[in-house]
Structure 1
């Protein structure tokens, strides 16, 4: 094995969903530069890369000694010439250090890396900017902020059939994601029902999207207005559905990032989290905020004394006015 030449690049990116989407332009740029690439990601996210032209996919868990040993075995057996650590965690640095790959590129100076940008300043940048700095350190041209998820005939046929069954016409419905991580209740905007009713009165149907724990909320919302689309689509299917929609309105969530790949306007509510660090690529001008002194607090639950002012202050009427100004209603 020691005599086999090294070739190609290994891209290390386990997750999470939003971070993977943000990394898609970076992955494409690495492919263009290296010619041959493999991505090592968490098994739940491996299907996202099915059908991605020229990219091999290897799913490996990131937690537990056995999982790390399997990942390390893949790295060493693969005989890669370069390793791009887009994860930047303690585990990924450990893998880089022991990988045996001669060129290892990371997001900050570390013994694990042979190439890395200088340390970032006190203000933490957007992950896309961090990853572009990693590319520069490797001598790779910067990527443009254009997220991308490939879809194929399976997703296209599913979306077409589902829309037909629901009586939805292209460009005449909007996607709303009112849910999100149950650990981050503070990210949830409380006025979706009123907004959905106002939008439907203006001739645009509403589809409530999400998965898993979003189901109970979406079911309740759909009793008043709109269609419950919970768990109807994979990640790639959601991106394809977005390409048929007029626009989307979301919280700061994974679907926000997925829909940024669809080429439609994506409006997102921000309050407890940082716009500068977390906005969807290509959509910063559509971030919806109500400035208050305590924002961004980065607290998963808003203290009662603050009355969730950053979200409560964003009224459904103000969002409707914005959509009208932007020519969407």
Structure 2
């Protein structure tokens, strides 16, 4: 059996989907192919044959070229119309995915309705797709697969930077989805300062688009700003050596969790029931205000009260408790 998986586009969702892929691998001896956006493709290293694309035009071109592979089954994880269209171009066999955007059902052979209120974890809903494909999957935690050389690189990097990982906490202040997900850079700056006062070191992590916004951290002695300076896999290899990571419901937080690092995840506009970190040792800080979760990119009320209601000292206490200080 040849199976194609159209992987999610967001880093966080892609990390969560690693649990789906682990379950799929254990459920079949079939040949696995992944159709993945170039920005997230490195996350899937070690899981089948990866076919990368960038942009909708290349997505459709790659999909059409894959048709000759003769796929028996395709799982379409993103809810977009374009992902369903690409699946129909690539696979003449069964195509299974969430109902998602209007029009998708025409391009899928089976469309499942995911919980519109997002009260079931996304990984559980992904596993429902496997069951619809006739598999009986066991639950598996999302986990990245590292090569020895990546582990060695991370250790060498930390030595060169003079960083003792046993005394270092990572923070990830940004969220690509929108500001509604962000706790606020001023709070992360205050938290970093208090962690440094406690004798801990701080590494700041994030993507290249947030490099300019991370500038205020440059003035903190004992704080290493790596925002925009590492690849996705380098970030994952590095953060797995940290005591823990503090972040929003963002790609960096999910990256740390599936790298095997404890996370303290700050939720406001989204629901931890849907995309909370999976595994032992993680902690979610979430106030569940009446207006939350709204799942919007920007706060509809203009107040971001769901995030502002989370105090710096509350997060600091959670960090110190987690690291045993």
TM range (shorter): 0.7 to 0.9
2:251 equivalent to 1:259: no
Cα distance, 1:121–1:60 mapped onto 2, change above 3 Å: closer
- 1:17: how far off? 1.2
Q: Is the 8 A contact 2:72 2:91 kept in 1?
A: no
Provide the secondary structure at the position in 1 that maps to 2:18. helix
- 1:285: how far off? 5.6
Question: How far, CA to CA, are the matches of 1:262 and 1:99 in structure 2?
Answer: 31
1:203 maps to what in 2?
Answer: 199
2:3 equivalent to 1:12: no
Matched length: 316
Question: How far, CA to CA, are the matches of 2:56 and 2:91 in structure 1?
Answer: 21
Q: Is the 8 A contact 1:170 1:244 kept in 2?
A: yes
Point out the more displaced range, 139-148 or 264-273: 139-148
Cα distance, 1:168–1:101 mapped onto 2, change above 3 Å: same
2:68 equivalent to 1:68: no
Mapping 1:204-283, distance limit 5 Å? 204-225=200-221, 226-282=223-279
- TM-score, structure 2 normalization: 0.87
1:316 corresponds, among 285, 296, 312, to: 312
2:98 corresponds, among 107, 116, 121, to: 107
Q: Is the 8 A contact 1:13 1:86 kept in 2?
A: yes
Kindly name which structure, 1 or 2, has the bigger radius of gyration based on alpha carbons: 1
RMSD: 2.5
Question: How far, CA to CA, are the matches of 2:98 and 2:299 in structure 1?
Answer: 32
1:41 maps to what in 2?
Answer: 36
Q: Is the 8 A contact 2:243 2:323 kept in 1?
A: no
- 1:18: how far off? 1.1
1:173 maps to what in 2?
Answer: 168
2:303 corresponds, among 281, 304, 307, to: 307
Question: How far, CA to CA, are the matches of 2:263 and 2:64 in structure 1?
Answer: 39
Q: Is the 8 A contact 2:263 2:282 kept in 1?
A: no
- 1:86: how far off? 1.9
1:3 maps to what in 2?
Answer: none
1:185 corresponds, among 179, 198, 203, to: 179
Point out the more displaced range, 9-18 or 291-300: 291-300
2:18 equivalent to 1:27: no
Provide the secondary structure at the position in 2 that maps to 1:59. strand
Provide the secondary structure at the position in 2 that maps to 1:40. strand
Q: Is the 8 A contact 1:106 1:116 kept in 2?
A: yes
- TM-score, structure 1 normalization: 0.86
Q: Is the 8 A contact 2:208 2:227 kept in 1?
A: yes
